[in-house]
Amino acid sequence: MIFAITTLGCKVNQYESQLLREALAAHGHREQPFGRPGAELSIVNTCTVTHRSDAQARNLLRRALALGGRVVATGCQAKVYGEALRALSPAVEVIPFEDIGPALNIQVPSRITGFCGHSRAFVNIQQGCGNFCTYCIVPHARGVPRSRPWQEIIGEITGLYAAGFREVVLSGINIGLYEGGVAALLEKILKETPMPAVRVSSIEPWTLTDELIRLAAGEPRVCRHLHVPVQSGSDAILSRMGRPYDARHFRSLVEKIKALDPGVSIGTDVLVGFPGEGEDEFGQTRALLEEADISYLHVFPYSPRPGTPAAAWGSTVDSRVAKERVALLRELSRRKREAFIRSRVGSEEDLLVTRAGRNSLRGVTSNYLMVEAEGKARVNDRVRVLLEEPCEGYVRGRHIG
Ligand code: SF4
């Protein structure tokens, strides 16, 4: 059978699509790119963090329906808002990820052995979240926190190394809830696998420990990159969001990281237009982010998710105002990124090669800078580069070893 998969949303979804791909291939089925005629099975692995991701999933399903064959929707939207997907057509099969093995008559494996189309493999270390932030539908889709046994994670990473991967990204729904701590897991990975680079994906501010900060800032095999979603700089809004920290805590985390190593890249997420965000609250967010020594922001306009407490509060921020705020913060992100790049010019960095030409290479540094350089290398090599010149969105560098 010929199948096609397309994936929306986070790293966990991408990891789960890889599990599906490997399961289908192990049963003798052949993959082709999504959206081409000829697929007997099309799978849309959906996301539901915003109404936009919902709309994207519906469009992809319509596209698959138009091409014929079996059409399956799985992932978060399928889990919590399945009715909206069934309403598209009776031909859409809505199947929660945990039921997909029996439904497709395949055995979903417990680990991946590759990562289609990526130089860095995502390794899922945990599932679920019990925080129930008032805007977030994810706990309803992903359930209570569960940690994957560390032996299984070690086995997966060892296998990925043997398959040629030289960087993995530890991913999950709320990875800071990993039982025993992410820092302890990292220590085990460093001791028991030869993987030269391990990156930690987004980690909530109240779960980021001193041990983990020390590893990111001081252990050469742990990437010098932390993504810590602040969501708002207003304590009143953070409290309405149900997030257990304040702006001061976020500020102190950033200071602690930078005091250990100013070269660590710190990213954050911000939610703009949350109910009750007036000029003062937005001003506090903007001031915190202006002042904090961070390298980039991901800015999201608030999108009410039916079934969450915040959705019942209505949208209290005018959409034109929310758009202006989003634009202001995206501009701030651009300036932050440029400032970080400029601050690193003249330094040497470890780089994972993601593209290689005859005498050129492109890749991502441990501290999450996109670099282009002259020199010979192969995809997945780890090389040393000297950062020489900031360009639009990337840095020109020199391959030095
Ligand atoms: S911590 Fe909050 S935002 Fe993150 S998954 Fe849990 S409920 Fe959602």
State the CATH number of the domain containing residue 160. Answer: 3.30.750.210
Nearby residues of 85 by Cβ (< 8 Å), 6 or more positions away: 46, 57, 58, 61, 73, 77, 78, 92, 94
Strand, helix or coil at 321? helix
300-313 per-position pLDDT tens digit: 999 999 999 999 99
In terms of domains, do 309 and 331 share one?
Answer: yes
Whether the pLDDT of residue 401 is over 90: the answer is: no
Nearby residues of 81 by Cβ (< 8 Å), 6 or more positions away: 48, 54, 306
Task: Kindly state if the Cβ of 205 falls inside 6 Å of ligand 1.
Answer: no
Number of H helices, E strands in the chain: 13, 18
Q: What pLDDT score does 250 carry?
A: 98
Q: For ligand 1, pick from 76, 79, 127, 129 the residue to mutate: most ligand atoms within 8 Å of CB.
A: 129
- Indicate which CATH number applies to the domain containing 284: 3.30.750.200
Task: Kindly state if the Cβ of 145 falls inside 6 Å of ligand 1.
Answer: no
In terms of domains, do 323 and 361 share one?
Answer: no
- Cα(95) to centroid(ligand 1), Å: 23
Q: What pLDDT score does 103 carry?
A: 96
- Cα(362) to centroid(ligand 1), Å: 34
Neighbours of 332 (CB within 10 A): 18
In terms of domains, do 298 and 390 share one?
Answer: no
In terms of domains, do 356 and 336 share one?
Answer: no
Neighbours of 249 (CB within 10 A): 15
Strand, helix or coil at 384? strand
96-128 per-position pLDDT tens digit: 999 999 999 999 999 999 998 888 999 999 999
Q: Domain end: 40, 73, 104, which one?
A: 104
Element (H, E) at 257: helix 247-260
| pLDDT band per the 50, 70, 90 thresholds, residue 370 | very high
Neighbours of 220 (CB within 10 A): 11
Amino acid at site 189: I
Neighbours of 353 (CB within 10 A): 23
End-to-end CA distance of the chain: 46
226-235, 253-262, 359-368, 385-394, range with the lowest pLDDT: 385-394
- Which residue is listed with tokens 């959705």? 311
**Cβ(352)–Cβ(166) below 8 Å:** yes
Task: Kindly state if the Cβ of 207 falls inside 6 Å of ligand 1.
Answer: no
Whether the pLDDT of residue 180 is over 80: the answer is: yes
Beta bridge partners of 73: 44, 94
Whether the pLDDT of residue 397 is over 80: the answer is: yes
Q: What pLDDT score does 361 carry?
A: 95
Task: Kindly state if the Cβ of 12 falls inside 6 Å of ligand 1.
Answer: no
- Cα(367) to centroid(ligand 1), Å: 25
- Cα(321) to centroid(ligand 1), Å: 25
Mean pLDDT of all residues in 160-174: 97
- Cα(378) to centroid(ligand 1), Å: 38
Amino acid at site 367: N
Whether the pLDDT of residue 336 is over 90: the answer is: yes
In terms of domains, do 156 and 211 share one?
Answer: yes
Q: Which atom of ligand 1 is nearest to the CA of 231?
A: 3
What phi-psi label fits residue 145: left (phi over 0), alpha (psi between -120 and 50 degrees) or beta? Answer: beta
In terms of domains, do 335 and 358 share one?
Answer: no
124-138 per-position pLDDT tens digit: 999 999 999 999 999
Task: Kindly state if the Cβ of 313 falls inside 6 Å of ligand 1.
Answer: no
Q: State the helix-helix crossing angle for 279-291 and 247-260, rounded to 10 degrees.
A: 10
In terms of domains, do 212 and 240 share one?
Answer: no
Task: Kindly state if the Cβ of 94 falls inside 6 Å of ligand 1.
Answer: no
**What percent of the chain lies above the pLDDT cut of 90?**
95
Q: Which atom of ligand 1 is nearest to the CA of 129?
A: 6
- Indicate which CATH number applies to the domain containing 387: 2.40.50.140
Task: Kindly state if the Cβ of 131 falls inside 6 Å of ligand 1.
Answer: yes
Mean pLDDT of all residues in 181-197: 98
In terms of domains, do 219 and 188 share one?
Answer: yes
206-243 per-position pLDDT tens digit: 999 999 999 999 999 999 999 999 999 999 999 999 99
Task: Kindly state if the Cβ of 174 falls inside 6 Å of ligand 1.
Answer: yes
Nearest CA to ligand 1 atom 4: 174
Q: State the helix-helix crossing angle for 182-192 and 210-218, rounded to 10 degrees.
A: 40
Q: For ligand 1, pick from 177, 204, 228 the residue to mutate: most ligand atoms within 8 Å of CB.
A: 204
Q: What pLDDT score does 107 carry?
A: 95
| pLDDT band per the 50, 70, 90 thresholds, residue 393 | confident
33-69 per-position pLDDT tens digit: 999 999 999 999 999 999 899 999 999 999 999 999 9
In terms of domains, do 235 and 322 share one?
Answer: yes
Split into its structural domains, the chain has a count of 4
Task: Kindly state if the Cβ of 366 falls inside 6 Å of ligand 1.
Answer: no
Whether the pLDDT of residue 316 is over 90: the answer is: no
| Structural domain harbouring 318 | 224-344
Task: Kindly state if the Cβ of 138 falls inside 6 Å of ligand 1.
Answer: yes
Beta bridge partners of 355: 362
Q: Give, in degrees to the nearest 5, the angle at Cα 293 between 334 and 9.
A: 55
Q: Domain end: 88, 104, 120, which one?
A: 104
In terms of domains, do 42 and 59 share one?
Answer: yes
Task: Kindly state if the Cβ of 173 falls inside 6 Å of ligand 1.
Answer: yes
Maximum C-alpha span of the chain = 59
Q: What gap in Å lies between CA 90 and CA 353, rounded to an integer? A: 45
Q: Domain end: 104, 132, 157, which one?
A: 104
48-52, 71-75, 204-208, 259-263, range with the lowest pLDDT: 48-52
Whether the pLDDT of residue 315 is over 80: the answer is: no
Q: Which two tokens stand for residue 120?
A: 């860095």
CA of residue 303 relative to chain centroid, distance: 19
In terms of domains, do 232 and 218 share one?
Answer: no
In terms of domains, do 90 and 122 share one?
Answer: no
